[in-house]
Chains A and B, each alone.
Chain A
Amino acid sequence: MCLDCGCQLAPALTRDFPRSPSSETNTIMRDLLADNDALAQRNRDYLDARGVVAINLMSSPGAGKTALLEATAAALQGEINFAVIEGDLATDNDTQRLRARGIAAQQITTGSACHLDAGMVSAALDEIDLNRIELLFIENVGNLVCPASFDLGQHRNVVLLSTPEGDDKPAKYPVMFRAADILLLSKADLLPLLGDFDPARAERCLRDLANPAPVITLSARSGTGLREWCDWLRAALGAEALRASGSKTNAPAST
């Protein structure tokens, strides 16, 4: 029987291991990230209680996460109030950039850590006035590998793939792209210049991961796709409000 929930495990998982005379084998079956996941769920409950929907924004470095937030703020001005938790290895450049646009932003400088974790987000949440917002973006450290493994307490995962990176990235980083609740093909204004990025191929690579997430071709610079993106955000807020009224919370597609 598993120590966490008392479930009955399949026989293959509970087989006896050979024992040495001075040792005893204990079957544990606990997720290595169980402590992080428990803290993440606490963050989610905390946000739910305040009616705030959190979105984990992930991509490689330089895919346009901050530019997307700037464009989103302009598009949603007067309609949806949001704040941003900014994860960055070494600088607060993006926080300064957002604040200059009047967007509430809280910096987490991770030092050498290549990802945010639930503990870092929990500390940052204490610094944000959640009564003034409905939506919280958590801009993760630019990295297509590590952030996918850590639940932060978010309700949705958004993954950006910028067109200069190439359309086969979902095949190369399956853990990250499987976790996406929506895929934004950013810097779409560069498509005519690049010539070899095929949005349909990027979508095929995503489907090969059995991920049904919507795909939006988007340019923060030209405004292409921003309307669809904002519609998706409104739908996410609506769905979470509905879920909250039924007192159920929602984890992202995969963490």
Chain B
Amino acid sequence: MHELSLCRALIEQVSALAAQHQARGVSVIRLRIGPLAGVEIGLLRSAFPHSSRGSLAASAVLEIEQTPLQVRCETCGGVSEVSLNQLHCRHCGDWRTQLIGGDELLLQAVDFITAPAPHEEAQHVS
């Protein structure tokens, strides 16, 4: 259950970025997560409301893009899409491969709310 720690790290990063950008809030957080990142996405999602409470990201939508697991063969050079515990080359069968994608755990992008919400604007005008 290290997803709670990850979620806290995420909120810390996003809050710092929001402060840097003088944002009023965060509407969307986009993550890229690979199958070998060691993250249970369902647990991360369920940890998010708890971790984000009271922060600028409290009402943000968490969008998670899952990346494919890909290896390059050290013997034949071929690229294969592979499964979590079968990382051998699909072209020549050799197990000596290098991971070229699928262990990402990235904060890809954040949408910051920069303008006042419409009802706040209306109040301001009146």
Interface size class of A (residues with CB under 8 A): 35 or more
Interface digits, A83-104 against B, CB 8 Å rule (1 contact, 0 not)?
0000000000000000000000
Q: A32-B106, A114-B2, A205-B85 are in contact. Are A22 and B36 (CB under 8 A)?
A: no
* CB neighbours of B117 from chain A (8 A): 22
A41 surroundings in chain B (CB, below 8 A): none
Q: Is the CB of A114 within 8 A of B111?
A: no
**What's the Cα separation between A78 and B71 when bound, in Å?**
45
B29-45: contact bitstring with A at CB < 8 Å (1 yes, 0 no)?
01110001111000000
Tell which of A169-177, A217-225, A239-247 binds the partner. Answer: A169-177
Is A77 an interface position by the 8 A CB rule?
no
- A208 close to B85 (CB less than 8 A): yes
Task: Give chain A's interface secondary structure class.
Answer: mixed
Q: How far is the CA of A178 from the CA of B99 in the complex (A)?
A: 11
> Residues on A close to B: CB < 8 A?
13, 17, 19-36, 113-115, 117, 145-146, 148-150, 170-172, 174-176, 178, 205, 207-210, 212, 254
Residues of B within 8 A of A (CB): 1-2, 5-6, 9-10, 12-13, 17, 21, 27-28, 30-32, 36-39, 71, 84-88, 95-99, 103, 105-117
